[in-house]
Structure 1
Amino acid sequence: MFATNPYEFRRATLDDLPLLKAWRSNPHVLEWWGSGEPYGEAELVDPRVARWIISINERPFAFLQDYTVHGWEDHHFVGLPKGSRGIDQYIGDSEMVGVGHGSTFIGMRMQALFNEGAPVIATDPHPDNERAIAVYKKLGFEPSGPPQETGWGLILPMLATR
């Protein structure tokens, strides 16, 4: 007998902005993502970035974005091989934090990106975000240099390869 996959990824839309705004106001998300507006129409249709709402058993609980690292001339991962992707995410629903969902849905998206041909997947957590760094290491990411200040804030560059 085969177990069914309870996770669903669907593209974020303008209809998701109230949900994203609510999630971004949660203290565990605010700590690492700040209090800015989640996205507007221009960001949601930007072809450089795929933004996803993740649900489990039809319950939305997380946000993930993956993007071309070559979409911005000044991006800190621009030197990676062609086709490399960056990822960022958070679990918005505080009841779902710390119970294994992050490593599962991030791993699923990583596998999809590798299957689509990405040679490297990059991520850039804040160096003090120990929970995120532990999850990334569990999924095969390794630090690729020391913490650095970027246009997106202080980051620890991390890479995973096929």
Structure 2
Amino acid sequence: MKITWRRVVEDDFPLLREWLQQPHVARWWNHETSPEAVARDFGASARGEEPSEDFLALLDERPIGLMQRCKMADYPEYQDELGPVAEVPAGAVSIDYLIGDPGLTGRGVGPEMIRSILDRTWTDFPDATCVIVPVSAHNRASWRALEKAGFKRIAVGEMEPDNPIDDRLHYVYRIDRP
């Protein structure tokens, strides 16, 4: 399985909206899915006005998922929330991800997407020291994908959940530059 990547563009917003409405995604992303909300939440990155990056994961040229990537230093409020739970070293990067097609979940696609973006991250960001990902402790599929991709759990603590139905318990995963 070979995952390739391309930046999200505004023409992708209807696809992102469709994915965000899928029950397996909506449970953990808890996003508004109106066309206006998707444009609001993904537009600045698509236009290059924000330092975070949104990528479509492609399998045989077909979009299958979304990967968000950012340098932690570009988002001090994120670092401030994570800091009491786990050390955030200089050069840390974070990712977030989803598989849009429910038929591709539970088939090893998630860990492959994560491994692929890691390879690209080490190349794209020569100063990146590690990738750190906080995950709701209840999102087993997500944290298991991180483990299968080589991440280690480094901390357990309370953070604001993406979905208000969840409690604050999060696992924090990290992988260092090889």
TM-score range, shorter chain: 0.7 to 0.9
- Report if the CA contact (8 A) 1:69-1:77 is conserved: no
More helix by share: 2
Show CA shifts across 1:63-90 (max 9, x none).
Answer: 0011011122221346522221100000
Higher relative contact order, chain-length normalized (CA < 8 Å, sep 6+)? 2
The residue that corresponds to 2:173 in the other structure is 158
Q: What is the TM-score of this pair, normalised by structure 2?
A: 0.80
- Report if the CA contact (8 A) 1:145-1:156 is conserved: yes
Q: CA RMSD, aligned part only?
A: 2.0
- Report if the CA contact (8 A) 1:77-1:122 is conserved: no
Q: Is 1:55–2:58 an aligned residue pair?
A: yes
d(CA) in 1 for partners of 2:115 and 2:18? 25
Q: What is the TM-score of this pair, normalised by structure 1?
A: 0.87
The residue that corresponds to 2:144 in the other structure is 134
Deviation at 1:13, TM superposition (A): 0.8
Q: Is 1:98–2:94 an aligned residue pair?
A: no
Q: How many residues get paired?
A: 158
The residue that corresponds to 1:34 in the other structure is 30
Show CA shifts across 1:130-159 (max 9, x none).
Answer: 111111112222222223123756432211
Gaps of 5+ in 1: none
* Within-5 A mapping of 1:82-121: 82-115=90-123, 116-117=125-126, 118-121=128-131
Identity of aligned residues (%): 22
